Amino acid sequence: MASESVPTSTLASANTADSGEPEIISGAAAVVRTLELLGVTDVFGLPGGAILPVYDPLMDSKKLRHILVRHEQGAGHAAEGYASASGRVGVCIATSGPGATNLVTAIADAYMDSVPILAITGQVFSHLMGTDAFQEADIVGITMPITKHSFLVTKAEDIPSTIAAAYHVCSTGRPGPVLVDITKDAQQAMAPFIWPPVIDLPGYRPVTKAHGKQITAAAELILESKQPVFYVGGGIVRAGAAAELLALAEAIGAPVVTTLMARGAFPDSHIQNLGMPGMHGTVPAVLALQDADLLITLGARFDDRVTGKAELFAPNAKVIHVDIDPAEIGKIRQVEVPIVGDAKDVLPDLLGAYAELSNGKKLEISEWWATLNALREEYPLGYTEPADGLLSPQYVISRIGEISGPEAVYASGVGQHQMWSAQFIKYERPNAWLNSGGAGTMGYSVPAAMGAKVSQPDRTVWAIDGDGCFQMTNQELATCTLNNIPIKVAIINNSSLGMVRQWQTLFYDGRHSNTDLNTGHDTVRVPDFVKLADAYGALGIRVTKKSEVDAAIKLAIETNDRPVVIDFVVSADAMVWPMVPQGVSNSYVQYAKDHAPTWDTDE
């Protein structure tokens, strides 16, 4: 996400009484008014005793749309989906104690994936804090390791400045979640409302101007390279730097790989795109990184799912690392040229330096491309039709992408369907692919799709979920039905916890301990997803034959008066390939489909 400043425009009538003096309002009213003045238009939440004062003035707001969720985790993931699809800050609200702790999973998820969400929680009365009062939890302490910052507000007069500061922190620099916990007495007390507020954040410098010498050094390394690769992470999406990346990549002519979090940052249709690297990446992407002599690393963090065994990752490569967060540079991999800065600013500077030094010529890397193109020819991304006669999940997901097109939004759960969605849907633009990459949170998909649809009402929004993930947060279908949020849900129903089952097949001698869910392949379906959809006021469809797939997808796209749930009954034996096992070198990328290969994880 590009840096954004706190809005300071204001209406006098909103800030002053008739006398010209600041208006005296309650802390609760200050919460609502501050959100309005920051430009927030949508919030996801669920009321409770400690946040109840805020819900009274919220009812009168003409600028804030409050969407009542069925579980606070859903509010958090909805805020994530809202932010990830739109680039705006997502806002969620919860009460104290269990209400606040129910947000923790979503907050941790947002922290891992650099998603800008603002979480506002109620807290017990100040004089009761520390007494184990009813529904008391130290949510500031609990969330401190998983937020950019957590604030505690005990005075009404501090509410506008604190919320404005929190909004600024979560949306600038490396974006991420910020929590504001407000005691009930601060919400009830009266205080002058002063806008714009004074924001005092000593030491917070979210954006550093990249050093010119480092930019030049990076351009020189690129010109010296024979086998360079652009290693592109989710930071490019958050920075809004897709156009800048395209210009730089085309000028240099080097291959591009986009991580799980960066799908869509560089068009899949582009000839330079080798696909996704990592544990379940394409063969050309994985081996390009492994054999490179230079990694042009942009907004990526050398995650273990990309590197495999880190000390064996890209052993002959020098590294340029561009990141807005200096803590990421050198954390996993030694870097020859570190560049700290916003990618949206750095990439044009790097393009200028490269153009000047190269006199506008592309690199002479035809031999490198010949090697990579041979890999593309030999190892195209594909799949084997299931032997049991059930639907191929890869086919279902590819048809969803082909029929819905690149302008749709795809929010995935976690597991096999997540990897297939990353592999078999073609992404042409940033912010089209939403998923829980770092935390790997089951239950992300449905509420994230809900939030995405709120922020992008004119786009088709799919939640591509597994039958395991779906059962964790499917109650938000009620929220969608009642609030006219017509998302499309594709349940990739293999009647099991698919990715865990795959690991059991490969590494535990096929002993499928507690991974069978019995949701779709037996006579009794528990639950019956079509009946469940009907109970929630959604359109429920079951698809068991290949000939039914396209018609069901098209019906879902055409149905916009309610949510749609399609139960795609697919084979439990389908595997995610390729696969680099955990703890080995990426040189061990495996293509076997008929039997489990043997890996030595000590090599």
Which residues are designated catalytic?
72, 134-135, 184, 499
Dist CA 13 CA 26 (whole Å) = 16
Closest CA to 564 of 421, 453, 456: 453
Dist CA 268 CA 162 (whole Å) = 42
Torsion of CA 497, 499, 501, 505, to 10 degrees: 170
SS3 of residue 10 by DSSP: coil
- Name, in order, each residue with C-beta under 8 angstroms of 263's C-beta and a sequence gap of 6 or more: 276, 422, 427, 432, 433
SS3 of residue 567 by DSSP: strand
Dist CA 252 CA 275 (whole Å) = 18
Asked if 488 contacts 461 with a C-beta cutoff of 8 angstroms, the reply is: yes
Asked if 321 contacts 338 with a C-beta cutoff of 8 angstroms, the reply is: yes
Give buried/exposed letters for 563-602 (b at 16+ CB in 10 A, else e).
bbbbbbbbbbbbbbbbbbbeebbbbbbbeeeeeeeebeee
The secondary structure of residue 581, as a DSSP letter, is -
Dist CA 477 CA 525 (whole Å) = 19
Is the previous residue joined to 206 through a cis bond, with omega within 30 degrees of 0?
A: no
Asked if 118 contacts 180 with a C-beta cutoff of 8 angstroms, the reply is: yes
Dist CA 47 CA 54 (whole Å) = 9
Locate the DSSP E strands across 20-101.
24-26, 42-45, 65-68, 90-94
Dist CA 591 CA 229 (whole Å) = 23
Asked if 391 contacts 570 with a C-beta cutoff of 8 angstroms, the reply is: yes
Asked if 466 contacts 494 with a C-beta cutoff of 8 angstroms, the reply is: yes
